[in-house]
Structure 1
Amino acid sequence: MKKIINNADDTVMEGLEGFVACYSKYYEQHPEVKGVISKNRRKDKVALVVGGGSGHEPMFAGFVGKGLADAAACGNIFASPDPNTVYETANAVNEGKGVLFVYGNYAGDNLNFDMAEELLNDDGIPTAHVRVWDDVASAPADRIEDRRGIAGDVTVIKVAGAACDAGLDLQEVTRIVEKARDNTKSIGIAVSPGQIPGLDKPTFELGEDEMEYGMGIHGEPGIQRTKMEPADVLTEELYRNLMQDAKLEKGDQVCVVINGLGATTNLELAIVYRKVKQLLDKDGIYVYDSDMNNFCTSQGMGGFSITFMKLDDELKTYYDMPCYSPYYAKGELTGAVENTSADTPVPAESETDKPQESAGSQAEAETAKCCGKRREGVLETLTAEDAREMLMYIADKVIAKKPYLTEIDSAIGDGDHGIGMAGGMQKAKGKLENLDAQGNVYAVFETAGKAMLMSMGGASGVIFGSLYLAGAKGADAKTELTSADLAAMERKSLEAIKERGKAEVGDKTMVDALEPAVLAMEEYKDRPLLEMLKAAEEAARQGVENTKDYVAKFGRAKSLMERAIGHQDAGATSVWLIFQGMREFVEGEV
């Protein structure tokens, strides 16, 4: 795994220097140790110091700020800060009211923070600590003090900062933070390892198709290693385990944190939160507030965790107090409370909105269903009903080929073509299923094209939407299309696509398959429909083959230059599949 570093031994110090330099209006660095100190901290109160090993950014330094921690003591990668670092950092923010330490429950942290507390106590500075042990997978409830601290640090530090800023004494602050800690439960899953800078091996080994429930943020063993599953399955399993431990009941109020471990995108985290919210709504648990981001990471580990903090009126008081750091904020401008109550029903997914399986067997079943009204024999013309059934057949064909198109696009593109085409075809099919075209064949193509255009996004949405739409839009209504009509419609679509995209044959785009297909249609326009479509399909196939010899002039592959040679274009491949689908439907091979 590549790391953007200099000398591995200098990684933490250089990272802290860069962090403080970037946010110098908020922070200063301790001159002697790896400590990050808030410039704008409130005075004459209990000081809050957090800390632990580096490598979990933005935890812990990123949670220093107004209404949060006053300072963070930072260790080396995945290693506790030494007692002197903790001692000196705490001394720098001590206001004479005592110091509260909040950190994850790990042996190294416990030993080093305890030693620092002894040193501070020897100097007459009162201290207390709250060890966060929110990871329900790391030990059973009867051994809660053996549990690890993971992303539950987020909500505990939030409450701790507010309680300190409220001016409470050390004993009262500690009581409230312990209450927040005891009401906070988390569980996570790992799908890929991270890697510590300077080491040539990942932090643990996990097969390409494996995941591990309950794995710790340093790669500590979890509770079960299984094959990879869809997001909803993962989320439901984590939710089940979390609820068994959290003992939440209908009417309870919680804060939810969906935390990424470094390599997990916010898009994926949003999918997880979506499912968590559905499950909480179903169980009558009210989401008081929620956050979703990479807060407590693990050097590029893939995976996520779910955290619940159960609230009562006292904890709400401190949770709602404003706070700010560059990585975490609450208060007047950000809002703290979600307005949706547990009693508000969540709309169920409609059948047409649900994603369809892309496997061939599913597509074949859907094809059989959608083509039940097809006229017998080889079609000589296309009626509106023929066109509707044909486009639904093509939609299922392309959906079934999503993995194939993704594989092709991944070789020289960004790998999203199959997903986009399948999604657009699914939307088109949804519009077509209940369409009453009133006998106008062009209206069928226009409906499908608009659905793709408005749903796919990216260049493919405009281009492939135009393949159906541009040639049909504005055409006089017809009850059936002949070979010549279809050829003329596709010529208009080709010209519109070339005008919008500016691509020509040889540029390694869908035009490389579409233009030869249209030329073949025009050559055979006075012959039977099937004969014309066979010629168009073969011309499109040859066009796909030709793209292997071209250097890309557009799209992601453009930057590859000669390295794109030898790979076929995904867009051209989709054009070929569409013409193949037309031919199969007209011939009756459905």
Structure 2
Amino acid sequence: MTYLYNDPVQFADECIDGFVAANSTFVRKVHGGVVRASRTPTGQVAVVIGGGSGHYPAFAGLVGPGLAHGAAMGNLFASPSAQQIYRVAKAAAGGAGVLFTYGNYAGDVLNFDQAQARLIAEGIPCRTVVVTDDISSASEPESHKRRGVAGDLAVFRAAAYAAERGDDLNAVWTLANRANEHTRSFGVAFSGCTLPGASAPLFTVPEGRMAVGMGIHGEPGISEQDLPTAHGLAELLVEGLVHARPATLDSSAGARVGVILNGLGAVKYEELFVTYGSVSTLLTAQGMEIVDPEVGELVTSFQMAGVSLTLFWLDAELEEAWKSPAYTPAYRKGLVNRQDVDRDLITIVDVVEDAILPSSAASRASGVIVLDSIRAIKNMIDTNVEELGRLDSVAGDGDHGIGMQRGASAALLAAEDAAAHEAGAGSILSKAGDAWADRAGGTSGALWGLALNAVAAEVGDVAAPTATVLASGVTAALAAIARFGKAQLGDKTMVDVLSPVAIALTESAEHGLTARDSWKSAALIAAEAADATSQLLPKIGRARPHMEKSLGSPDPGAVSLALAIDAIAAVMNSQQKVSQ
């Protein structure tokens, strides 16, 4: 369990505040993360990393000379929002572009891609290397679907090395991408982790057994077996990685490799050293030469008891990167010029929010219904937060409920503030969507932000929305989610609810039904569609590697969306009665 916390919802934010207070020599706080205390030199590519909180020293602990220029950090086990990533990258950028690199998780990809698109639109060049080192999460032919785990460090080091020596953005991308192609990781877990405030771990492992192929967000392993000796575990990990060596290498014999033996949070250093003794012997017997091994906690998962092994197959240039100096709060190697830490200290200037647009009286009146609907969604999520988390834990990491709760709470505050400043319906929806995405983070936060903003664009601030306008808005939301989230009908996502709802609303509007009656009918369809996802297998997202476990259980994102649609229907119905 997690012993020390205040409000679990505020844990990640308070963690960042405390980290910055303890490491002010190295970092400055930006909304949603940290950047180096010293300004990125003009003409140097900025390497920006990130992911969910809860994995220290990843990601904030790896910011400093020789490593990252900035780290965007989301809520616990949830991707940072696009807004957070954008702000960190803007603060870190030194005029030569930004290289994003992070683990391959749906929420991270979605949010980093949105931030990258915004930066490019502003004239800041960006490229991305997604880390895919976890051999347990997909087969070699589908290696692009693999997760990023402790191999992140190898890729981050290569990117930072190229940036520090003055390479341009394309060259930094090339070396980081090659590092990713040369990196493989394999891990096991002996117990699950428990998030702050939670009463039970995200998953459990029977005593005397271990989960093989665990994920750093609490994703359960792909199989279980009896707990071996330290030497037996070393044999399992080494054998698995040697067989998974990069296809571009003819043989592991004679290879020079960087090695990371990573503890997930509860395995003590002494146990890691015992295990590494066997790892070293086995790799040497395979004809490999170990270069600057790392043994310790590099990517953790609260108090999860587990271990992962990473092999980084080196060529001459990658070896230089692996051995190069670095000086960060949690990772230090070689000698770094102290001036690189103290030079040209940065001043953080936050992004100014857009002003409220003018609106008509009719739109402001509709804004009251929008505000009541967002409040109803927030109340519904508060009521169902534990059940949504339980559904998500079947094959995911169990954070959907708390993520939705954070998002809806932030959306309501933003909507109330917008309404108090006489915003129209469209602006209230847009402000709520931005706040939802920014606070919730992760995949669902980004998708809800996209959806609300798509509806907002159709609703506008001029006229009261009709049934036709609402149908167009939901259809636009579906298109945005499908485009950015890359989900299709049948993938077991919120698209499986939103698609039939969009069709139903469009048909109802064409038949002349009122907005209230259209939405009431759509709510019934949404509930049926959400329930039907229990018979689907997930094709994308964190649940994909454990798809069989989710059969018979509905998708949590589909369920929460259907409940939200029903909550809106209730508000619209009550408003109709009041007007009568």
> How big is each residue's C-alpha offset from its partner over 1:232-274, in whole Å with a ceiling of 9 and x where there is no partner?
1111011111110015521110000000000011011101110
Residue 326 of structure 1: aligned partner: 329
Q: 1:70 to 1:2 in 2, by over 3 A?
A: closer
Residue 280 of structure 1: aligned partner: 283
Residue 195 of structure 2: aligned partner: 196
C-alpha distance in 2, partners of 1:116/1:333?
31
Report SS of the residue matched to 2:199: coil
Do residues 301 (structure 1) and 304 (structure 2) align?
yes
Residue 54 of structure 2: aligned partner: 55
Alignment counterpart, residue 39 of structure 1, candidates 20, 37, 40 = 37
Report SS of the residue matched to 1:226: strand
- 1:67-82 matches, within 5 Å, as 67-82=66-81
- Contact 2:40–2:93, Cα closer than 8 Å, also in 1: no
- Contact 1:27–1:38, Cα closer than 8 Å, also in 2: yes
- 1:434-513 matches, within 5 Å, as none
Residue 314 of structure 2: aligned partner: 311
- Contact 1:235–1:275, Cα closer than 8 Å, also in 2: yes
Residue 239 of structure 2: aligned partner: 240
- Contact 2:40–2:94, Cα closer than 8 Å, also in 1: no
C-alpha distance in 1, partners of 2:176/2:224?
34
Residue 91 of structure 1: aligned partner: 90
Residue identity in the other structure for 1:321: S
- 1:140-539 matches, within 5 Å, as 140-246=139-245, 248-332=251-335
Residue 111 of structure 1: aligned partner: 110
C-alpha distance in 1, partners of 2:323/2:211?
35
**Structure 2 unaligned runs (5+)?**
338-580
Using CA pairs under 8 Å that are at least 6 residues apart, name the structure with larger relative contact order, 1 or 2: 2
**CA-based RMSD:** 1.4
Report SS of the residue matched to 1:128: strand
Residue 21 of structure 2: aligned partner: 21
Residue identity in the other structure for 2:123: G
Residue identity in the other structure for 2:45: V
- Matched residues, percent identical? 42
TM-score by length of 2: 0.56
Residue 527 of structure 1: aligned partner: none
- Contact 1:138–1:222, Cα closer than 8 Å, also in 2: no
Residue 376 of structure 1: aligned partner: none
> Shift of residue 322 of structure 1?
1.1
Residue identity in the other structure for 1:118: A
Residue identity in the other structure for 2:176: V
> Shift of residue 181 of structure 1?
0.7
> Shift of residue 185 of structure 1?
0.5
C-alpha distance in 1, partners of 2:276/2:245?
18
Residue identity in the other structure for 2:4: I
Residue 8 of structure 1: aligned partner: 8
> Shift of residue 94 of structure 1?
1.0
**Structure 1 unaligned runs (5+)?**
335-590
Q: 1:315 to 1:12 in 2, by over 3 A?
A: same
C-alpha distance in 1, partners of 2:241/2:222?
13
> How big is each residue's C-alpha offset from its partner over 1:519-550, in whole Å with a ceiling of 9 and x where there is no partner?
xxxxxxxxxxxxxxxxxxxxxxxxxxxxxxxx
Residue identity in the other structure for 1:290: P
Residue 359 of structure 1: aligned partner: none
> Shift of residue 298 of structure 1?
0.6
- Contact 1:40–1:66, Cα closer than 8 Å, also in 2: no
> Shift of residue 2 of structure 1?
4.1
Residue identity in the other structure for 2:241: L
Q: 1:84 to 1:237 in 2, by over 3 A?
A: same
C-alpha distance in 2, partners of 1:327/1:182?
25
C-alpha distance in 1, partners of 2:186/2:163?
28
> How big is each residue's C-alpha offset from its partner over 1:403-446, in whole Å with a ceiling of 9 and x where there is no partner?
xxxxxxxxxxxxxxxxxxxxxxxxxxxxxxxxxxxxxxxxxxxx
Q: 1:215 to 1:124 in 2, by over 3 A?
A: same
> How big is each residue's C-alpha offset from its partner over 1:15-61, in whole Å with a ceiling of 9 and x where there is no partner?
1111110111111101xx12111113541201110000000011000
Residue identity in the other structure for 2:271: E
C-alpha distance in 1, partners of 2:316/2:310?
19
C-alpha distance in 2, partners of 1:325/1:163?
17
Report SS of the residue matched to 1:192: coil
C-alpha distance in 2, partners of 1:137/1:232?
20
Larger Rg: 1
C-alpha distance in 1, partners of 2:329/2:223?
36
C-alpha distance in 1, partners of 2:35/2:52?
16
